[in-house]
Amino acid sequence: MISTMPWVPGRATRPHGQGGKVPLQARVPAELKARYDEAAKVRGLSLSLYFEQLIELDPLAPKVVAPQEEDPLLTP
């Protein structure tokens, strides 16, 4: 567990050790950053979880297709 990762007390965060995560950086006006922070705060979410939920609301964003599990009876 990395203890130096930034987080805000009281906000939901992703469990550690899930892997597959990459950094996302963007430059936005300070006012917009403040709006994102406040929106995440009132929902009790970390900023990254807020962005994850936000993209699910975009009807034009590609949807994630869950990988299909192999049938153990069909696997040699």
- Is 0.85 surpassed by the pTM of this model? no
pLDDT of residue 21: 79
Mean of all residue pLDDT scores within the chain: 80
pLDDT of residue 19: 64
Q: Which amino acid type is present at position 44?
A: G
* Burial state string for 31-41 with b = 16 or more CB within 10 A and e = fewer than 16: eeeeeeeeebe
Cα within 13 Å of Cα(57), Cβ side: 5
Q: What is the arithmetic mean of pLDDT over 32-49? A: 94
DSSP type of residue 57? T
Bridge partners of 6, per DSSP, are none
pLDDT of residue 76: 58
Q: pLDDT: is 46 or 4 the higher one?
A: 46
Q: What is the arithmetic mean of pLDDT over 50-76? A: 80
CA–CA distance, 40 with 4 (Å, rounded to integer): 21
